[in-house]
Amino acid sequence: MTTSNEETILQVEDLKMHFPIYRGVFQRQVGAVHAVDGISFDVRRGETLGLVGESGCGKSTTGRTILQLYKPTAGQVHFNGVDLVSLKGEELRMMRRKMQMIFQDPYASLNPRMTVADTVGEPLMVHNVATGKEIQERVQQLLELVGLNPAFASRYPHEFSGGQRQRIGVARALALQPSFIVCDEPISALDVSIQAQVVNLLEELQEQFNLTYLFIAHDLSMVRHISKRVAVMYLGVIMELADRDDLYLHPLHPYTQALLSAVPIPDPVADARRTRTILEGDVPSPVNPPSGCRFRTRCPIAEKICAESRPDFREVSSGHFVACHMVK
């Protein structure tokens, strides 16, 4: 699904990640959690693609499956033209140097028994990129790059605030000079005042090193700020994908419209005028998702066809993709 003549660094095709459910003495498989259930999109070099949706919709699983931290159930992930799903062992390890991840929880993602120097320097040692004094020098450079004092290298994670820990996570992700980084809700565990600092840091690093981001988040206003394009996910499926301004100004899918109607705006008059879409019911279980369109059980405009067949993820205007039978 190439949407531009610009160079595509990542291409995801019909990606599925199902987690088996086992029960009984003999641990027989009785079902599966359809965490990611057939999604396709691409990411262009140097851009930020935002991935948004409710908790449990499969955003983080998508990021981890792309990096092959989970082996996908089906589908293909092409990175720089190489299918990552087919790689194993040393070949995959070499590709991982070009792909990194910034994790959501800065408290859980750092080993409390390792100093900052050990944490940031470990990728360099594991991949035999540097040794001894070279590692020390590179660690100091990385800490300066993310706005931390190089003298902090001998300290442990518990001695830092949440924002500082996330900066350490960013430094670790940059250690091997990757070209693609999955940012898995990197600011959701931080104070609001610190969130802007971390986002600004990510933007500065992107400009400096021509990085490509898959930015996973809940905060729609922050995603609009940092992303060039945005994909909206619901129950393991992408519902809509478009350029940032196109999606926010002209949302086509009922789910996207409902999400955006809940975003507060700093204008009391405009806020009072706009129409809110209140979704009824709960998100269905990914163990037994609805037939046809995943959103139909909560959709205010669902018709009979929505239960009978799954809508195609199609391009309705230039660069604007949507999966909805009702959108013409």
pLDDT given for residue 271 in this prediction: 66
Asked whether residue 31 is assigned to any structural domain, the reply reads yes
DSSP H or E segment with residue 316: strand 314-317
Closest CA to 59 of 223, 229, 231: 231
Q: Is residue 154 part of a domain?
A: no
CA-CA distance, 114 to 119, in Å (whole number)? 6
Domain annotation covers residue 167:
no
Q: Is residue 88 part of a domain?
A: yes
The pLDDT value recorded for residue 5 is: 46
* Number of residues that this document lists for the chain: 328
Q: How many domains does the chain have?
A: 1
Q: What is the pLDDT of residue 52?
A: 95
End-to-end CA distance of the chain: 20
Looking up residue 270, the CATH number of its domain turns out to be: 3.40.50.300
Q: Evaluate whether residue 124 is within a structural domain.
A: no
Burial of 276 (0-12, 13-18, 19+ CB in 10 A): exposed
Strand partners, 232: 52, 240
Domain limits at 282? Answer: 8-98+179-191+207-322
Contacts of residue 11, defined as CB under 8 A and 6 or more positions apart, other chains included, come to: 1, 2, 42, 43, 76, 77, 78
Considering the domain boundaries, does residue 77 fall inside one?
A: yes
CA distance 199 to 157: 21
Spatial separation of the C-alpha atoms in residues 19 and 72, rounded to whole Å: 10
Whether 43 maps to a domain, the answer reads yes
Per-residue pLDDT of the chain (328 residues; tens, 9 = 90+): 544 447 999 999 999 999 999 998 889 999 999 999 999 999 999 999 999 998 889 999 999 999 999 999 999 999 999 999 999 888 999 998 999 999 988 889 999 999 999 999 999 998 988 888 899 999 999 999 999 999 999 999 999 998 999 999 999 999 999 999 999 999 888 888 888 899 999 999 999 999 999 999 988 888 999 999 999 999 999 999 999 999 999 999 999 999 988 777 777 776 667 777 778 888 899 999 999 999 999 998 999 999 999 999 999 999 999 999 999 8
What is the structure's pLDDT at 3? 45
Q: What tokens were used for 303?
A: 């018709």
Q: Check residue 27 and report its DSSP letter.
A: T
- 237 in a structural domain: yes
